[in-house]
Structure 1
Amino acid sequence: MQLTSLFATIALSFVSVVSSAAVVPRAANDVFVPQITSPTADTVWTMGKTETVTWDTSNAPVNISNGASVYLEGYGRIAEGFDLRSGSVDVKVPFLPDGVVDSTKLYKIILFGDSGNESPDFKIIFDPSSEKE
């Protein structure tokens, strides 16, 4: 009987601690969905070159809870580990798989932090001289 009472007391104490922890609010405004300002629909990137992805930081929260990364749609991650409050990151435009360049294909940049945001569609081209860099 005493063992049952002891177990019940411990269980209730645990529930009390967990319940109080569960109501602690997240920091206000820590979700940030910045508007990408570059690349734009008129942008043309060249494979192998370094380009800059930019975004609006005018209403960035003080606390941003997740790390940042940039993905090139159809390729994968091309940058990570930067501060979203910086407003920009340089990326090396990858040589796309199989070296196939489709001049009609359009790409998007996806900026991740607490939430993802997409750029407008833009073009990536191949310039043979860029392979030497």
Structure 2
Amino acid sequence: MRSWYTPFALVAALMAAATSSPLAASSALATDFNAAARSGVVVQRDVWAPRVTSPTTGTVWTVGTQQTITWDVTNPPRQITNPRGVILLSKDGLADVDHPLARNFPIRAGKQQITVPNVPPGSHYRVILIGSGDNSSPSFTIVRRGSKTSAAKGG
């Protein structure tokens, strides 16, 4: 079963997924912040949210097929706060953080191949690219194998 999250709950869910529990995530962040405050060391962090270039509006994916998600990697900052990426699927503004399409890939790569998951067919799907920042694609469509749309689009 898929759990879909609103954008506000997305950050909390990602923190929980990165650690053993939401409480542990909160505690770890507080510890890091407190340690930095006590040390007086301030580290500048670059946030980079590259623009997703594919999928685009009008794209049709078929469940079970391999697809390549791409993003613009021109002019990245010299030091990226988080150089590893996560790609999530969202539908109608709700992101599925429990089933990432991809994770732990180099954000500077500019592309990542994924398998389209078994989700209900429909439009208003987006991919969310998360690294040191986040960006999402325009809405696109996912169909089942054998549908007229997938045959017409070659998916």
TM-score relative to the length of structure 2: 0.61
Choose the corresponding residue for 1:88, options 104, 111, 122: 111
- Aligned CA distance change for structure 1 residues 18 and 33 (closer, same or farther; 3 Å): closer
Query: Stretches of 4+ moved more than 4 A in 1?
Result: 17-20
- Aligned CA distance change for structure 1 residues 106 and 84 (closer, same or farther; 3 Å): same
CA distance in 1, matches of 2:36, 2:134: 31
How far apart are 1:18 and its partner, in Å?
Answer: 6.3
Name 2:121's counterpart in structure 1: 101
Q: Identity, % of aligned pairs?
A: 37
Name 2:6's counterpart in structure 1: none
Q: Which has the larger radius of gyration?
A: 1
* Higher strand proportion (structure 1 or 2): 2
Letter aligned with residue 101 of structure 1: P
Letter aligned with residue 119 of structure 1: S
CA distance in 1, matches of 2:37, 2:121: 56
Choose the corresponding residue for 1:73, options 81, 90, 95: 90
How far apart are 1:77 and its partner, in Å?
Answer: 1.1
CA distance in 1, matches of 2:124, 2:131: 23
How far apart are 1:69 and its partner, in Å?
Answer: 0.3
1:118 equivalenced with 2:136 (yes/no) = yes
- Aligned CA distance change for structure 1 residues 54 and 18 (closer, same or farther; 3 Å): closer
Runs of 5+ unmatched residues, structure 2: 1-34, 148-155
CA distance in 1, matches of 2:73, 2:36: 36
Name 1:46's counterpart in structure 2: 62
Name 2:50's counterpart in structure 1: 34
Deviations 1:96-129 (A, max 9, x none): 1xxx434xx3200000001110100000111059
CA distance in 2, matches of 1:36, 1:18: 33
Q: Root-mean-square deviation (CA), in Å?
A: 2.4
Choose the corresponding residue for 2:145, options 109, 127, 133: 127
5 Å-filtered alignment, 1:12-27, equals 21-27=39-45
